[in-house]
Amino acid sequence: MTIDPKLIDVFPAEHDGYPASLAIEDTPDALRNACGDASREFPEALWIEPREWADRARENDAAGAWGLNYIDRFTNQNPTHECTCHSLRANVEAARNRARGVNFGGPRVDYRYPESREFGSVWLSPLSVYAEANPRQWGGANVRRVLEIAVRRGMLPETVQPYDYQFKHAMPGTAGKGGFNQSRGPWTPVSRFPAGWEETARHFRPLEVIFPESYEQAVCLVLHGYVVSVGRNGHAVPWARWMPDQRLMAYPDSYDIVRYDSERTAKSAWEGSFSVASVTLPDDWSRPAG
């Protein structure tokens, strides 16, 4: 597979939600502390020897077992500062769909998979976390802050869904461009969330969050079908596929496109990373909030 060099190591001229002044707080200890009891060390059972990575990657290609395969839509934050929350939503949604065992094949622009409705995919609102992570519309938020919020109280569904789940509470997904599978609306402070919103949000919480302790562990997580969210160079992204020939990390960027981080970039970014291993799951997938 030939990758357009213009899609590799794409960084914003100015930060789009991950400024250096906030990124400096994203130390491994701070991230673990933010998750409390949900924090998990990298499990030894997930270790794959580097000499076996290429073979495992080819197996994932054949089986559709990448984190990217469990993501059924793009989001588009342009021109907001919501990037850490869009990376988070991809991680949480992938974990939920991975538990369901649904291979969508990866997000496609302006396309809605019928399987999203059939298998109970729920689209979560990055804006529902960003509104608390930053009490202003602009300025961004770090990984530590959005993780703490999501683990503590969960995320609200978007107003656009692949199926009418009749949620009691929902919010637009972004104050940015949005798209066919993402609702857009004005930035809304938490004080103006719909009354009782916490009752719905609690159904969409990360329960276990793994923190890799090396670049190699981050690759192993991706090879096992997990999504690894990282903040780097002014922008936060969710790594969701490792490509052995080019040694690239593919990610569904929050601009309606798949882009790639080089090995050099990935090796410089993994310390501020996390992977959502499990999330709250419904008893009835057609009624995900009870």
pLDDT confidence of 2, banded at 50, 70, 90?
Answer: confident
**Residues 227-236: pLDDT tens digits?**
999 999 999 9
Q: How many Cβ atoms sit within 10 Å of the Cβ of residue 163?
A: 15
**Residues 34-88: pLDDT tens digits?**
999 999 999 999 999 999 999 999 999 999 999 999 999 999 999 999 999 999 9
Residues linked to residue 251 through DSSP beta bridges, in sequence order: 259
Q: Which domains does the chain have, with CATH numbers?
A: 5-279 (3.90.70.10)
What average pLDDT does this structure show over 245-259?
97
Question: What is the model's pLDDT at position 204?
Answer: 98
The answer to whether residue 1 scores a pLDDT higher than 80 is: no
Tokens representing 11? Answer: 């960084």
In which element (H, E) is residue 223 found? helix 215-223
**Residues 157-196: pLDDT tens digits?**
999 999 999 999 999 999 999 999 999 999 999 999 999 9
Residue burial 191-212, b: 16+ Cβ < 10 Å; e: rest: eebeeebeebbebbbbebbbbb
Question: What is the model's pLDDT at position 272?
Answer: 86
**Residues 86-96: pLDDT tens digits?**
999 999 999 99
Question: Mean pLDDT of all residues in the chain?
Answer: 96
Minimal CA–CA distance to 282: which of 205, 172, 193?
205
Phi, psi (rounded to 5 degrees) for 261: -105, 135
Phi, psi (rounded to 5 degrees) for 193: -60, 155
The tokens 């999203």 sit on which residue?
116
The answer to whether residue 225 scores a pLDDT higher than 90 is: yes
What average pLDDT does this structure show over 215-219?
98
**Residues 118-127: pLDDT tens digits?**
999 999 999 9
Question: DSSP 3-state assignment of 208?
Answer: strand
What average pLDDT does this structure show over 247-265?
98
Question: What is the model's pLDDT at position 269?
Answer: 94
Question: What is the model's pLDDT at position 196?
Answer: 97
Phi, psi (rounded to 5 degrees) for 288: -65, -15
pLDDT confidence of 4, banded at 50, 70, 90?
Answer: very high
Rounded to whole angstroms, how far apart are CA atoms 135 and 108? 32
Question: What is the model's pLDDT at position 180?
Answer: 96
What average pLDDT does this structure show over 148-163?
98
- In the chain, pLDDT over 90 holds for what percent of residues? 97
Rounded to whole angstroms, how far apart are CA atoms 92 and 155? 9
Residue 51, class by beta-carbon neighbours within 10 Å (0-12 exposed, 13-18 middle, 19+ buried)? exposed
Question: What is the model's pLDDT at position 128?
Answer: 98
Question: What is the model's pLDDT at position 287?
Answer: 95
Question: What is the model's pLDDT at position 290?
Answer: 86
Question: What is the model's pLDDT at position 53?
Answer: 98
